[in-house]
Amino acid sequence: MITKEGVAHMLDCYWGDKEPSPVYAVLIKAGGTVTADDTMKSHKGWEEITDYDEKTRPLINFGKSKDGSINNSENTNIVTINKDSTIIGGLVISTSPIKGGTDGLCLSGGPAKKERFMEYGDTFEIKYNMTHKSG
């Protein structure tokens, strides 16, 4: 799901006068739902997970797009969980690296293919795939 502010940011960067921003992974708790109206300041359907060792949100480096899809499969990120019973349910893409912060833009997000139950010391590899669907 690409949010409304995500669409505006892409249009501003491609056809407007803005430079593209680096993007960061925001892990979200199980049961979270991302909507088109979500922003980093206002999102009732999901809650960020900050229970990992890394000081900032992981920077996402996408590869080249192919057949209407783009991903970070050649440049994945790994975080180390630092709290028992953490259930990862999805991912949001933001322009802010600050864990738990409300600055920056909420560009897109969605559920994981499968929720992941994590314990203290477990590592989680972040893979993100974005696909355009016509219609």
pTM for the whole structure? 0.91
Q: What is the pLDDT of residues 77-128, one digit of tens each?
A: 999 999 998 899 999 999 999 999 999 999 999 999 899 999 999 999 998 8
Q: What is the pLDDT of residue 55?
A: 97
Under 8 Å between Cβ of 68 and 132: yes
Q: Which of 107, 123, 3 is CA-nearest to residue 62?
A: 107
Under 8 Å between Cβ of 130 and 6: no
Interatomic CA distance for residues 18 and 9, integer angstroms: 8
Quote the mean pLDDT of the chain: 93
